[in-house]
Structure 1
Amino acid sequence: MMKTQRYSPSTERSKITYALWGLGIIAFIAVLFFSGMYIQIMGEKTDTYNQSEQQALNQTELSSVHHVSRYHGPIRYDIVAGVTKEGKKGYAFIPKDTEQANISYVALSDVLTEDSMKQQWQSTCNACELIDIIPAHDGSIPLWEVTFTDSNERYAIQTFNMKSGSKVDTFYFRR
């Protein structure tokens, strides 16, 4: 014969216990969902890098690739940094938002280097704090994009022509 426990308020599970279990399960599902979403988004961010690397090796003077990055301007570009067979460094700019990929290539010996751009920029902006300098592209113009904070504590982005060093555009953002 099976014994059953008599009903007693002290033996009944409280509603708080059920609510905590429910919240725990919902939180666990939310963490799984957002983790999966994050992994998918980060994967999509770099999913064109291998294709861009192959295009740069096949359609430009580059014979080896050191780094691939992304530039988001009016047109999204994958920027492939590498070296030619002669040992000259260069950048291949591969557009990703258009069907016809007009790949442009710039040898680093034909443009201002990152260090030269940094020195030129520092001479014009004394009270600024440099955040980053990255290669960029706008239409048919290779650019350097300089990100910094200015003396007014504004976040700023300036673009400079890679060949001449002339300023192309400036954007300021309040913090």
Structure 2
Amino acid sequence: MTNTKRKWFIYSLVGIGIILISLLAYCIYLYQVINDSRTSEMDTTKTQLLEQTSYVDIHSIESFHGTNSYHVLEAMNEAGEDKLVFYPLEGEQRQLTVFDMEDMLSKNTLIETWQSSCGSCKLVNVTPALVEGEAYWEITYHDNENNYVMNYHSITDGSLQEQFKYPKMFY
């Protein structure tokens, strides 16, 4: 009787182990598929921009999702000028929105200014944003009260234009 219970217990543990390993493998696979889908769209945007415009080099690419979604590229044109390019992800006629990087406040300068004004805050991300045709730096962070905060700063002089605070709902 004891031997039968022990076999049942071992078979149950092996079965649960197989299920957990299978679940972990599926989660890893799902993550890779989703991440490949996201990055392949960026590769497509990069290829289209290089083939169809006068841009010769793309330094970086990231996404911004506001009212409209964009791929945001830091690119160099044939004249050697660095540009910030907003590439819309919707619509058949995609109109690029372009800004001269020499007219912009650098990301590092903005972060230094922000850190001096909010020393105990935890930075999440800084990304270029395009809202109603105006370019901003979007800074997302957790403040000292653990609120999730989104600041929109002017891309030219760094002045704060808009701020959203979302309080933590669960402790």
The verdict on a shared fold, with TM-score over 0.5 as the criterion, is yes
Instruction: Please tell me whether the aligned partners of residues 71 and 78 of structure 1 are also in contact (alpha carbons under 8 angstroms).
Output: yes
Aligned residues: CA RMSD: 2.7
CA distance 1:167–1:60, shift in 2 (3 Å): farther
SS in 2 for 1:152: coil
For residues 79 and 92 of structure 2, what CA distance do their matches in structure 1 show?
31
The one-letter amino acid of 1:51's match is T
Structure 2 match to 1:85: 78
Whichever residue aligns with residue 94 of structure 1, its letter is Y
Runs of 4+ aligned residues of structure 1 deviating over 6 Å after TM superposition are none
* TM-score normalised by the chain length of structure 2: 0.80
TM-score by length of 1: 0.78
Aligned to 1:48: 41
SS at match of 1:136: strand
Residue aligned with 2:94, SS:
coil
Instruction: Return the letter of the residue paired with 1:135.
Output: P
Structure 1 portions without partners, runs of 5+: 1-7
**CA distance in structure 1 between the partners assigned to 2:158 and 2:54 by the alignment:** 24
Gaps of 5+ in 2: none
Larger Rg: 1
Aligned residues: 167
Pick closer, same or farther for the CA change 1:52–1:10 going to 2, 3 Å.
Answer: closer
Alignment of 1:10-159 (within 5 A): 10=3, 14-118=7-111, 121=114, 125-129=117-121, 131=123, 132-159=125-152
- Do the aligned partners of 1:62 and 1:85 also contact (CA within 8 Å) in 2? yes
Secondary structure of 1:45's partner?
A: helix
CA contact 1:110–1:163 (8 Å) conserved in 2 = yes
